[in-house]
Amino acid sequence: MKTNTATLKRIPGVDTILFHFIIKTQTYEMGTNFPILIPATAGEPNVTAEPVVKDGVAAVKDEDVQRVARNGKITVDIGGAALLKFSREQVRSLKEKNVAVHVKSGAAAIELPAAYFEDAGDATVAIKKRKDLDGKVQALSGIYSFEIKQGGKEVAKFDKNRPAKLYFTVDQSKVKNPKNVKVLYYDEEKKKWTEREDLKPVYDPKTGVAVAETLRLSTYAVFEGTGETDKNAPAVPGGQAGGDKNGDRQGEPADKGGKRLPDTAAGDSNWLFAGILLTLSGICVHRIQKRRIHQQ
């Protein structure tokens, strides 16, 4: 097999796009040479596709998939759609060109190599906001679950050399120390948020976006610390459950500086009770002694 490189140069005065072609010449049994032209730089490195949404399912147009260059990236914002669906032909094209697929929904997104798809039918990417978990923890972002399926099977695990990337928009007003920002995983069995070794979060305080590489898909959110709170009490940013933003319990007195006064009510009540008890004891002793004197 011979491989030659040819260049089509721009002709002065003619509006012509410059392409570089790799010409591969292969000899077949019949002895005829068939030149195959493959544009080495054809397509766009970054394509933002506008999906078509029907019955809650978003779909990408074939021409948008064809526009993506080899080793490029396609970005799709599905908005309020339940999931994004790629046809089998689209999956095959994305996989052959080694395209990175970036899917965004609300304040979260996922990016993964199309190489993880198989030639096994349509593929779907779903990003679901977990409203059932909101309010139970002090998260800095929305709580989202990520799910990818193809041919009825779930694609949930990735190679450490080619991990999936999760993106979260963080509420910067809640961040106290950017160095403590973490992306945690929700353990459905233990009903607990926890860290995982494969999670490698990076938070950019300038953009307010936290990015984490992961080898597994599940439910994730951004926290500062562990994010654990009393499940029966509403989470209050910057303070204790059931308190105000300074961590003080509502309804308790404060001094002129705005700080809560020392809690001395319990001590005063104890001393008052002890005084009453001693007084009653003294009265009882006095009456007993007086009765004995009369009996004598």
Q: What DSSP string runs through 122-189? A: -EEEEEEE-GGGTTSS--SS--EEEEEEETTEE--B--TTS-EEEEEE--GGG-S-GGGEEEEEEETT
Strand partners, 257: none
Return the percentage of the chain with pLDDT > 70, whole number. 67
Domain housing 110:
43-128
Is there a domain that residue 48 lies in?
yes
Is there a domain that residue 280 lies in?
no
Q: Are residues 80 and 102 in the same domain?
A: yes
Q: Are residues 26 and 48 in the same domain?
A: no
Task: Count how many residues are written for the chain.
Answer: 296
Q: Are residues 109 and 17 in the same domain?
A: no
Instruction: Specify the pairing of strand 52-54 against strand 57-59.
Output: antiparallel
First to last CA, the chain: 134
Q: Are residues 136 and 53 in the same domain?
A: no
Q: What does the DSSP 8-state code read for residue 163?
A: -
- Quick check: 31 pLDDT over 60? no
The answer to whether 125 and 83 have CB atoms below 8 angstroms apart is yes
Q: Are residues 79 and 15 in the same domain?
A: no
Strand partners, 2: 25
H helices present in the chain, as ranges: 62-67, 88-96, 265-295
Is there a domain that residue 288 lies in?
no
- Chain segment 243-280, per-residue pLDDT in tens: 444 444 434 444 444 444 454 445 566 667 677 777 77
Structure token digits, residue 231: 């499940």
Q: Are residues 144 and 98 in the same domain?
A: no
Choose one of 207, 224, 248: the last residue of a domain. Answer: 248
Q: Model-level pTM greater than 0.75?
A: no
Is there a domain that residue 283 lies in?
no
Summarize the confidence of residues 105-130 as an average pLDDT.
92
Q: Give every CB contact of residue 217 below 8 A, 6+ residues apart in sequence.
A: 110, 146, 147, 148, 155, 156, 164
Is there a domain that residue 276 lies in?
no
Is there a domain that residue 50 lies in?
yes
Structure token digits, residue 283: 């009265």
- Chain segment 226-235, per-residue pLDDT in tens: 655 434 333 3
Number of domains present in the structure of the chain: 3
Higher pLDDT, 92 or 232: 92
**What's the rounded Cα separation, in Å, for the pair 241 and 65?**
49
Choose one of 232, 248, 264: the last residue of a domain. Answer: 248
**What's the rounded Cα separation, in Å, for the pair 168 and 211?**
7
pLDDT given at position 208? 96
Is there a domain that residue 254 lies in?
no
Is there a domain that residue 293 lies in?
no
Q: Are residues 134 and 49 in the same domain?
A: no
Strand partners, 109: 104, 167
pLDDT given at position 177? 94
